A and B are shown apart, each in its own frame.
Chain A
Amino acid sequence: MSSSTSIIVVFEDDLSKAVLKKILPDKYTYIWRSGRGFGYIKKNINEYNRTAKTVPVLVLTDLDRRECAPTLIEVWLPFHRHNPKLLFRVAVREVESWVLADRDRFARSLGIKGTSIQVKVDEIDDPKEYLINLARRSNKRELREAIVPGKGSEADHGPDYNGYLTQFIREYWDIQEAICNSPSLKRVIKAVENFQPEQ
């Protein structure tokens, strides 16, 4: 597809794709796949592993409610079965924690105090709910309406949640700042840096 090494990147949704686009090194060509959510990746993890026999594949999924990342990986695809060209990483707990990890900028974008966001973002039990609750406190009506589900709505998030967050990630989110507050993000970036797809 291109002269540089290509890596197939399997992502969950728009949000993880936006984050990955910022953290992946420029030296490779990326082929984006899935974007169809947690269950879809879980269902196809063996297929992605088999693909990694011949071409490098990076899979990123959210931890969600499971206890810890290694447990999730062992359940989905035990480590000893990983092909060498597979890099399977898990965000603790959701990509939203990494967004929150740039505490100052994210708080500023909502128009709330930076200290409103807890320091140990990886320990937030439900980062999405946490983020939506922060948005409820925003004095920016347009933003509130985009992120927070309408009154009485059973929707998981507001109508333009992904649109707003991906724009924030693209334009403002600072990786260095986020790394300081999220060891989980730091580990994933390190793993990506150490990944040697040519071998």
Chain B
Amino acid sequence: MIISHITLKNWRNFQSADVNLRNRVFIVGPTASGKSNFLDVFRFLWDIAKPGGSLQKAICDRGGVPEIRSLTSHGSPNVEIEVSITETDTNETLWRYAIGITQSDYDNPYLTHERVWKKHKQILNRPDDNDIKDKLRLTQTHLEQVGLNQPFRDISEFFNSIWYLQLIPQLIRYPAAFSGPSIPDDPCGQNFLERVSKTPEKTRKLRLKKIEEALHIAVPQLKHLTDTKDESSTPHLEAIYEHWKQKGARQREDQFSDGTLRLIGLFWALLDEDSLLLLEEPELSLNIEIISKLPALIHRLHRQKGQVILSTHSADLLLDKGISGEEVLLLSPGPDGTVVRVASSIREIRALLEGGLSIADAVLLPETVPQDIHDLGAS
């Protein structure tokens, strides 16, 4: 399943947004145009639906509704999110889920509506009679309550598959060196090695083998990638690094390069089945050779099973002519907040793509660089 359509109102930078999404989504736009805020909508849905998650916590962790609400919205309108969930094989829309949230000065945030459609039939429409009798009920979604979400459990489970990843190699390498509470849900990979070691052996071995094959493009010297444990049962990754010594040297993750570690983490996540994977600038610390192959690798490793939504600043990544304009969301900041458009919906960009140019040539300049960056001599 994938999220095939999203509508936003007053979400952070976006006064409104209404776009279709494909299996792969490439979000491009200048710095501070709201790429992370766009990804955060999906994290927000996950924060509600995950085990132990709730609407109140999801909002509280973000600093309350006033922080989530678009700065360009006038007065105190509601924040609204609506998504359509489609079966990938049949292209049929199975579900639609919509919520509206607001918060008055001294109250907890509460729902202005929560609606669910199964195919075309609406099966939930809140506020209902019970909500009107007891307004406190509107501080919780039905989505987050196992006792109430049974008729649309699929949505809850799907949102629970959302995985946000922004791997920081140093955290993977030295998880124990960073004391204090770990970042909730581990987006940076501090517990990545533990995650690998807890995966059932058969799946784990198969994935590491696939990762080794995919890694071959970037680090051909790296062979026999396996997992292991040291005397104190701490999990590690290990590989043979072939060099001038005939037999090659055995290396552990603390000796892998930043790029190698990020790739291993990224490939692992891509191989995770049926997930909606959110990636923030996956190109960081990777060499050009591998960056240019990422779009194809994402397709190959994630197959048709799941969805990958990523933000990027990399022209090398977007040079891949296998990326269609329908897969690219272009974020353009303006006086009324950031506008989100599917790249192929813009006539000139479509003409450049039809002319045979890549997304990097058709989209990247100048929409994704501040208007006068050339004048600043910063290009």
A interface residues, Cβ below 8 angstroms from B: 1, 6, 8, 14, 17-18, 31-35, 44, 46-55, 160, 162-163, 166-167, 170
Complex contacts, A55 vs chain B, CB 8 Å: 347-348, 351
Question: By DSSP majority rule, is chain B's interface helix, strand, loop, or mixed?
Answer: loop
Contact assessment for B365 and A47 in the assembled complex, using a CB-CB cutoff below 8 Å: no
Residue from the list A18, A34, A35, A47 in contact with B375, Cβ < 8 A: A18
Complex contacts, A35 vs chain B, CB 8 Å: 365, 374, 379
Complex contacts, A52 vs chain B, CB 8 Å: 355
Contact assessment for A166 and B354 in the assembled complex, using a CB-CB cutoff below 8 Å: no
Shortest C-beta distance, B351 to chain A (Å), equals 4
Contact assessment for A46 and B365 in the assembled complex, using a CB-CB cutoff below 8 Å: no
Say yes or no for B58: interface residue by CB 8 A criterion.
no
Give CA–CA (A163, B379) in the complex, Å: 10
Contact with A along B335-373 (1 / 0, CB 8 A): 000000000001110111011110001100110000000
Give CA–CA (A44, B356) in the complex, Å: 9
Shortest C-beta distance, B365 to chain A (Å), equals 6
Say yes or no for B377: interface residue by CB 8 A criterion.
yes
Shortest C-beta distance, A34 to chain B (Å), equals 7
B interface residues, Cβ below 8 angstroms from A: 346-348, 350-352, 354-357, 361-362, 365-366, 374-377, 379
Contact assessment for A33 and B361 in the assembled complex, using a CB-CB cutoff below 8 Å: yes
Give CA–CA (A8, B365) in the complex, Å: 11
Residue from the list A34, A50, A160, A170 in contact with B356, Cβ < 8 A: A50
Give CA–CA (A6, B357) in the complex, Å: 18
A51 and B354 in contact, given A8-B348, A31-B348, A35-B365 (Cβ under 8 angstroms): yes
30 contacts between A and B (CB under 8 A): A1-B347, A1-B348, A6-B347, A6-B348, A8-B348, A8-B352, A14-B375, A14-B379, A18-B375, A31-B348, A32-B365, A33-B352, A35-B374, A35-B379, A44-B357, A46-B356, A47-B352, A47-B355, A47-B361, A48-B355, A49-B355, A50-B354, A50-B356, A51-B352, A53-B351, A54-B354, A55-B347, A160-B377, A163-B376, A163-B377
Complex contacts, B365 vs chain A, CB 8 Å: 32-35
Give CA–CA (A34, B315) in the complex, Å: 11
Residue from the list B352, B366, B377 in contact with A162, Cβ < 8 A: B377
Contact assessment for B377 and A166 in the assembled complex, using a CB-CB cutoff below 8 Å: yes
Complex contacts, B376 vs chain A, CB 8 Å: 163
Query: B364: nearest residue on chain A (CB-CB)?
Result: A33
A14 and B352 in contact, given A1-B346, A55-B347 (Cβ under 8 angstroms): no
Give CA–CA (A55, B362) in the complex, Å: 13
Complex contacts, A49 vs chain B, CB 8 Å: 355
A47 and B356 in contact, given A6-B348, A55-B348 (Cβ under 8 angstroms): yes
Complex contacts, B354 vs chain A, CB 8 Å: 50-51, 53-54
The 5 closest A-B pairs by CB, nearest first: A51-B355, A163-B377, A50-B355, A47-B356, A55-B351
Contact assessment for A32 and B348 in the assembled complex, using a CB-CB cutoff below 8 Å: no
Give CA–CA (A51, B379) in the complex, Å: 25
Complex contacts, B366 vs chain A, CB 8 Å: 31-32
Complex contacts, A34 vs chain B, CB 8 Å: 361, 365
Give CA–CA (A127, B348) in the complex, Å: 34
Shortest C-beta distance, A56 to chain B (Å), equals 9
Give CA–CA (A55, B354) in the complex, Å: 11
Complex contacts, A14 vs chain B, CB 8 Å: 374-375, 377, 379
| Of listed B346, B352, B365, B366, residue having the most chain A CB within 10 A | B352
Give CA–CA (A163, B376) in the complex, Å: 7
